[in-house]
Amino acid sequence: MPLVAPFRTSFGTQTVREVLLIRVVTPGAEGWGECVAMQDPLYSSEYVDAAEHVLRRFLVPALLHVGEVTASSVAVHLAKYKGHRMAKAALEMAVLDAELRTHGQSFGAALGSTRDRVPCGVSVGIMDSIPQLLDVVGGYLDAGYVRIKLKIEPGWDVAPVRAVRERFGDDLLLQVDANTAYTLSDVPQLARLDPFELLLIEQPLDEEDVLGHAELARHIRTPICLDESIVSARSAADAITLGACRIVNIKPGRVGGYLEARRVHDVCAAHGVPVWCGGMLETGLGRAANVALASLPGFTLPGDTSASDRFYRTDITEPFVLESGHLPVPTGPGLGVTPIPELLDEVSTAQEWIGS
């Protein structure tokens, strides 16, 4: 799927999204899952071809051998295979969708939704110039987004943040995301962000450097939020206990599924740690599930649950359209959305049936 504009982060520039979808067929209903892995292993170790391979070779056969499968048992059946959380999450999502459609229950109702719409933030890429950045940010604010997140990297951090603060004022909800681009030697530079009263700085250091984030937290005022480091409820509890983060970005694919995402939410709530729903440039399928998740009570910060047109001119489902800075939580059975066949066909490059 082509992106409406190049999206540049500290780990590269994306112009196209290659996405792996899973359709599960059961006697009761069909279910859809979306794997959030990128085409290349730049955000994490997973990537589309690897996810496809591990699903075909190990994960789908494991479920086919079980026979009767429920969504809550998928993770147990797949646990013997290490890692591949995004691939596992996509499979569990498809089984959960089929199960919920069969019983006529929405994702929101199943996960514990307490709201019927969620406030939406937007992730803004690294730009070629400050004027271009200010134009793009202005456009998103005009569209109604309630929070701005700026991608940063060494050489593009203090100046863009200062420019956005000076242009749009101190009341703007503003945060940054480094995608692991800094090290502890950058502490002085990161401390220069403190005067701008950011909501948070997301994943400044390497995803495995939990103690480094705890050390960084002793030298900067901006609250640290972790993304890539949080791969499960256990890792969230460990990071919080070690003082590595005060806020958590929850991405169901990164933690192994929506059921684990709810456990991350519960662990963070138990520690009084606010969470928000991150984004992986999902189609309307993953977007529907993320908006439902983002409506749980502990999601007290606006997430990267942007409208479909933030990234795509044409989504494969009915588009999610921002209404007064919010997206409505789908109410239909399961995801509440399904791919529109002709739109899915237009972007499909390959498909494969794996049956028992």
> Which of Mg ion, ligand NPQ, none lies near 258, with the C-beta cut-off 5 to 8 A by kind?
none
Region binding ligand NPQ by CB under 6 A among candidate stretches 100-108, 180-188, 276-284, 336-344: 276-284
Q: Pattern of binders to ligand NPQ over 41-60, x per CB under 6 A?
A: --x-----------------
Nearer to ligand NPQ, 11 or 81 (CB): 11
Helix (H) or strand (E) holding 79: none
In sign, the C-alpha dihedral spanning 8, 13, 17, 19 is: negative
For residues 42 and 50, the answer to whether their CB atoms sit within 8 Å is no
Long-range contacts of 158-162 (CB under 8 A, 24+ apart): 158/189, 158/192, 158/193, 159/130, 160/127, 160/130, 160/133, 161/193, 161/196, 161/198, 162/196
**Catalytic annotation present for 80:** no
Site for ligand NPQ in 156-215 (CB under 6 A): 177, 179
- Counting residues that bind ligand NPQ (by CB under 6 A) gives 15
How far apart CA 59 and CA 53 sit, in angstroms, is 9
**Exposure string over 143-166, b if 16+ CB within 10 A, otherwise e:** eebbbbbbbbbeebbeebbebbbe
Q: How far is the CB of 58 from ligand NPQ (least distance, A)?
A: 23
Any idea what the Cα angle at residue 38 is, between residues 77 and 343, rounded to 5°? 95
SS3 123: strand
- Of 10, 14, 175, 290, the one binding ligand NPQ (CB under 6 A) is 14
21 binds ligand NPQ per the rule CB under 6 A: no
Site string for ligand NPQ, 57-76 (x = CB under 6 A): --------------------
Give the amino acid at 168: F
38 near ligand NPQ (CB under 6 A): yes
- SS3 of residue 111 by DSSP: helix
- CB contact set of 155 (below 8 Å; sequence gap of 6+): none
151 is catalytic: yes
Q: Are strands 326-328 and 117-119 parallel, antiparallel or unpaired?
A: antiparallel
Q: How far is the CB of 149 from ligand NPQ (least distance, A)?
A: 7
Nearer to Mg ion, 174 or 316 (CB): 174
Q: Does 85 bind ligand NPQ (CB under 6 A)?
A: no
Please, what sign has the CA dihedral across residues 300, 228, 284, 293?
Answer: negative
Provide the minimum distance between the beta carbon of 42 and ligand NPQ in the complex, in angstroms, as a whole number.
Answer: 8
Options 80, 82, 149, 151, the catalytic residue: 151
Q: Which of 80, 88, 149, 251 is catalytic?
A: 251
What is the binding site for ligand NPQ (CB under 6 A)?
A: 7, 9, 14, 17, 38, 43, 123, 177, 179, 227, 278-281, 304
What is the binding site for Mg ion (CB under 5 A)?
A: 177, 202, 227
Q: Which positions are catalytic?
A: 151, 251
